[in-house]
Amino acid sequence: MNDLFGAVQKITPEAQCIMRGNRVKIIIPVGSVTEVADLVKRYGFNHIESVCGTDYPNNNIIELVYIVGSVKEDLKSKVIMLGSRIPRENPVFPTLTNIWPGVYFHEREEYEMLGIRFDGHPKLAKLLLPDDWDDMPPLRKEFQVKKWGAIEREDSGLKIERAVLHNPLPECTPTQSDFKKVKTPDFLYRFQAALEMPEYDTLGRKLFKWVQKDDRSIAISFGIQHPGSGHMRLVLGVDGDIITDVEPDIGYVHRGKEKMCEYKNYFQNIPQLERPTVHDSSGMLFPYVLAVEDILDISDKVPERAKYLRIIMAEFNRILNHTYWLAIMGIFTGHSTMFMWAMGDRELIIDAAQRLSGARVTFAYFVPGGVRNDAPDGWCDYVLKVCDKFESRLDKYKEIYFENPLFLDRTVGVGVLGKQDAIDLGIVGPALRASGVYSDTRKDEPYSLYDTIDFDLPVMKEGDSYARCMVSYMEMYQSLRIIRQAVSKMKPGPVRYYFRGRIRGREGEAYARTEAARGSLSYYIISDGKEKPYRVKISSPSFRNLLAGVKKLLPGHRIADVPVIHWSLNYWAVEADR
Amino acid sequence: MEVEVSLVKPVKILAAVKSGLRHLFYSRVTRRYPEVESGLPESYYSFDPKKGVATAGWRGRHYLELDKCTGCQLCSFMCDEISNAIVMVELPDIKFEQNKKSLFPSVDYGRCVFCGLCVDACPFECLHMTPEIRLADYDRNRLYYSPLELSRPPSVGKPSYVVGKKREVAKT
């Protein structure tokens, strides 16, 4: 890594380098960003993970960090953070979409959340915020979230006056009026007929704006109302029933998790952070607790038993997520039996997880310092029994679904994603492994004793929908294998490093990534030494996989293939919107 | 014109159908809830502040031990930014030596997310969570549990609310 920093210093002598373990942060002036990014990519960092902007009103700067990983064998465990500081009043940054195409949506998100303008970005428009948003960018520090109003309960004579009213400062720059108010996809403007269409029909009803009277093309909506995964929409331009253009319209379930995190302390964040992905709730919490342990400097104090319990819980959640996904896949391909079986067999795992944590869906089991409670008596034997039962059920799935010609016809050769495309676009998880890339955070950068466990990674070369389905299916076998080993390796002992009093982190930042069920999930936490985090950036696998789903895979396919391609990527709208 | 006839697909479809038909003779997967209970162990979720570890158990309705609670408000502070469900209320009729101001937590189950972090926050081991999970009600106000209601031992395994019977809301 030192040779890379030397080369960077040749370009800009002002470059600073901060190293902490496998994380290398290089801070450079804005002028040389494109040049340095090109160098970093040629060095081997080709897999974009996250783009995070942080507002510092006291220093009057915004720090923008590009977090880049790699799929190359020798660089897999390393993460490079390419940071630059820009003035707050007029934040302009050169776009890096031509170097890492995967930053397309990340940059759009930072644009609307912090008001940073990216020079040369193909389409700088809103992504997550509502169309009628008329306020300052929400991740600026002046923006205050609305709190509850005064609460009164007449029946009990109860009155709580802790309300803080929302009062935006008018002089803050930039205002949101700079934004493009329209989310209409560009390709629609090609159809001249649409622009000349009357707004109201003869009966005075308002016409749907995007229906075209062109002789060949029409635009239709896939979704809004729950197309299988949550509220999101794909605006499809179709010619006959062949898709020619796609524009995603997401953000219907955006809850502002990153802003909410800044108002809660490290423990209060736990229940709300697992909400975006309720069937992968522990997987969603895993990188958060790792990053917070780094911030609190207690990473080495976590007991061994707690680490194994975490592994078991995370793998439970992987199975829960994949069975849920498999059930909906059954519905999408017209196979109701698969839905019934997968949903029924989930209960086995849910019961086992519930005996451990006390909840059925949102377990809230991980805390910084370990896990919340030890396993009850006889739980380990119960888990081994559940694993055997579930494995016998998994074999049956193959007979009825994965070897079924009705399923093969729908998926084989549909939505092929090439290996190089998958890396360039920053695809993660089963979708990346189905395209022939041997990459998994559990293997690349083993965390939480995953290195003591022997398991294989299912990797396929085809890259089509069938390969993605098979990789997820084979992963469930590996999860069972991991659970069995972890149960046998657990020794009695403490399960939590407990600390009393007010919890304050060190001043600094932490970046942790784990392999959640849908792919690599990472948290970037910046602390200013107070009880609450200064900035939390969540980079979720669904958000990173969206680009492939819409831009690369869909054009050229028929409308009937959309559900299969969309769902084989395992896109979960709530996780992507956060 | 020659038509290629392949028997591979029909045979494989029949194999899938056969695998499904075999399940007609399997026992039922679904449970006749609520007539049949889940059969999971019925223990409380409670936290030992000395060891810093909780005991595994259901995270249902809270159980408050009035004679241990000191009114320190730590559970309420923890809940403030999570769901704002716990509110400290004053019960002037109830006097305990350790609780001079007679402040006790009350829980609004219309808001509670059952994370159990209030139990972890209690330094006196007086707040627990119980296996009583059927809290649905016809009236929103009845989801607000006063400290006196929380201090009743849970009716484990039985519906907590019988239709037609009104729960008395303690006046504070």
* Residue in chain B lying closest to A363 (CA): B115
Task: Tell me the whole-structure pTM to 2 decimals.
Answer: 0.84
Q: State the nearest Cα–Cα gap between A356 and chain B, in angstroms.
A: 6
In a domain, B90, yes or no: yes
- Give the pLDDT of residue A111: 86
Number of domains, chain B: 1
d(CA A105, CA A307): 34
In a domain, A515, yes or no: yes
Q: For residue A99, what are the CA distances in angstroms to A41, A45, A50, B49?
A: 8, 11, 14, 53
Question: How does DSSP classify residue A54?
Answer: E
Closest CB to A148 among B84, B120, B170: B84
Residue pairs spanning A and B at CB distance below 8 A: 118
Task: Kindly state whether A263 is in contact with chain B, defined as any CB-CB distance less than 8 angstroms.
Answer: yes
Number of domains, chain A: 2
Instruction: Report yes or no: A167 and A135 within 8 Å, Cβ to Cβ.
Output: no
| Cα angle: A495, vertex A497, A501; to 5 degrees | 140
Look at A264 and B82 and tell me if their CB atoms are within 8 Å: yes
Look at B54 and A267 and tell me if their CB atoms are within 8 Å: no
Question: How does DSSP classify residue A51?
Answer: E
Considering the domain architecture, whether residues A151 and A273 belong to the same structural domain is answered as no
Q: State the nearest Cα–Cα gap between B67 and chain A, in angstroms.
A: 23
Task: Kindly state whether A119 is in contact with chain B, defined as any CB-CB distance less than 8 angstroms.
Answer: no
pLDDT in tens, chain A (578 residues): 778 778 777 888 888 888 888 888 888 888 888 888 888 888 888 888 889 989 888 888 889 999 998 888 888 888 888 888 888 888 888 888 888 888 888 888 888 888 888 888 887 777 888 766 666 788 888 777 654 444 444 555 545 444 333 333 333 334 444 444 444 555 555 444 445 555 665 555 555 554 444 456 677 777 777 656 678 888 787 877 888 778 787 888 888 888 888 888 888 889 988 888 888 889 889 999 999 988 888 888 888 999 999 999 999 999 999 999 999 888 888 888 888 889 888 988 998 888 888 888 888 899 888 898 888 888 888 899 999 989 988 888 888 888 888 888 888 888 888 888 888 888 898 988 888 888 888 888 888 888 899 888 889 888 888 999 999 999 999 999 999 999 998 888 888 888 776 778 888 888 999 998 888 899 999 998 888 889 999 999 988 888 666 778 888 888 888 888 888 888 888 888 88
- What residues form DSSP beta bridges with B87? B106
Look at B144 and A375 and tell me if their CB atoms are within 8 Å: no
Closest CB to A376 among B20, B41, B53: B41
Q: State the nearest Cα–Cα gap between A277 and chain B, in angstroms.
A: 15
Count Cβ atoms below 10 Å from residue A331 Cβ, excluding itself.
14
Q: Which residues of A touch B170 (CB under 8 A)?
A: 156
DSSP B49-95: TTTTEEEP-B--SEEE-TTT-----HHHHHHHTTT--EEEEE-TT--
Contacts of B149 (CB under 8 A, 6+ apart): B167, B170
In a domain, A110, yes or no: yes
Considering the domain architecture, whether residues A167 and A290 belong to the same structural domain is answered as no
Look at B56 and A375 and tell me if their CB atoms are within 8 Å: yes
d(CA B61, CA A350): 20
- Give the pLDDT of residue A179: 45
Task: Kindly state whether A262 is in contact with chain B, defined as any CB-CB distance less than 8 angstroms.
Answer: no
**Tokens (6 digits) for A571:** 């896109």
Q: Where are the alpha helices (DSSP H) in A23-66?
A: 33-43
Interface test with B, best of A148, A152, A156, A281 (most B CBs within 10 A): A156
* pLDDT tens, residue by residue, B114-138: 888 888 888 888 888 888 888 887 7
Count Cβ atoms below 10 Å from residue A147 Cβ, excluding itself.
12
Domain boundary among A155, A183, A211: A183
- Give the pLDDT of residue A151: 46
Q: Which residues of A touch B104 (CB under 8 A)?
A: none
pLDDT band at B28 (very low <50, low <70, confident <90, very high): confident
In a domain, A34, yes or no: yes
Task: Kindly state whether A376 is in contact with chain B, defined as any CB-CB distance less than 8 angstroms.
Answer: yes
List the 348-367 stretch of A: residues with Cβ below 8 A of B.
Answer: 351, 354-359, 362, 364, 367
How many contiguous H segments (helices) and E segments (strands) does chain B have?
A: 4, 7
In a domain, B62, yes or no: yes
- Residue B68 sits in a domain whose CATH number is 3.30.70.3270
Q: Which residues of B touch A396 (CB under 8 A)?
A: 19
Boundaries of domain holding B81:
46-150
Look at A498 and B51 and tell me if their CB atoms are within 8 Å: yes
| Residue at A4: amino acid letter | L
**Tokens (6 digits) for A50:** 């996250």
- Give the pLDDT of residue A477: 92
In a domain, B98, yes or no: yes
Closest CB to B41 among A344, A355, A372: A355
**At residue A306, what are phi and psi to the nearest 5 degrees?**
-65, -35
- Give the pLDDT of residue A145: 64
Say whether pLDDT at B106 is over 80: yes
Considering the domain architecture, whether residues A34 and A135 belong to the same structural domain is answered as yes
- Give the pLDDT of residue A315: 92
In a domain, A231, yes or no: no
d(CA A179, CA A311): 44
Boundaries of domain holding A156:
1-183
- Give the pLDDT of residue A131: 67
d(CA A418, CA B25): 45
* Residue in chain B lying closest to A261 (CA): B81
In a domain, B170, yes or no: no
In a domain, A376, yes or no: yes
Q: Which residues of B touch A498 (CB under 8 A)?
A: 51-53
In a domain, B8, yes or no: no
Residue B121's H or E segment, with its range, is helix B117-121
* Residue in chain B lying closest to A406 (CA): B13
Q: Which residues of A touch B141 (CB under 8 A)?
A: 153, 155
Q: Which residues of A touch B51 (CB under 8 A)?
A: 498
In a domain, B144, yes or no: yes
| Cα angle: A570, vertex A279, A268; to 5 degrees | 120
In a domain, B162, yes or no: no
Mean pLDDT of chain B: 77
Question: How does DSSP classify residue B169?
Answer: P
- Residue A341 sits in a domain whose CATH number is 1.10.645.10
In a domain, B31, yes or no: no
Considering the domain architecture, whether residues A157 and A275 belong to the same structural domain is answered as no
| Residue at A364: amino acid letter | A
DSSP A336-383: HHHHHHHHHHHHHHHHHHHHHHS-SS----EETTEESBPPPTTHHHHH
| Higher local confidence (pLDDT), A37 or B43 | A37
Instruction: Report yes or no: A470 and A398 within 8 Å, Cβ to Cβ.
Output: no
Using DSSP, state whether A193 is helix, strand or coil. Answer: helix
- What residues form DSSP beta bridges with A487? none
Instruction: Report yes or no: A30 and A94 within 8 Å, Cβ to Cβ.
Output: yes
d(CA A538, CA A511): 10
Q: State the nearest Cα–Cα gap between B42 and chain A, in angstroms.
A: 10
Look at A359 and B59 and tell me if their CB atoms are within 8 Å: yes
Instruction: Write the ipTM.
Output: 0.81
List the 88-117 stretch of A: residues with Cβ below 8 A of B.
Answer: none
Q: Which residues of A touch B172 (CB under 8 A)?
A: 156-158
| Higher local confidence (pLDDT), B158 or A30 | A30
**At residue A288, what are phi and psi to the nearest 5 degrees?**
-65, -50
Residue B17's H or E segment, with its range, is helix B8-21
Q: For residue A406, what are the CA distances in angstroms to A22, A295, A340, A517, B4?
A: 47, 51, 17, 26, 19
| Higher local confidence (pLDDT), A201 or B142 | B142
Considering the domain architecture, whether residues A271 and A179 belong to the same structural domain is answered as no
Considering the domain architecture, whether residues A381 and A506 belong to the same structural domain is answered as yes
- Residue A99 sits in a domain whose CATH number is 3.30.460.80
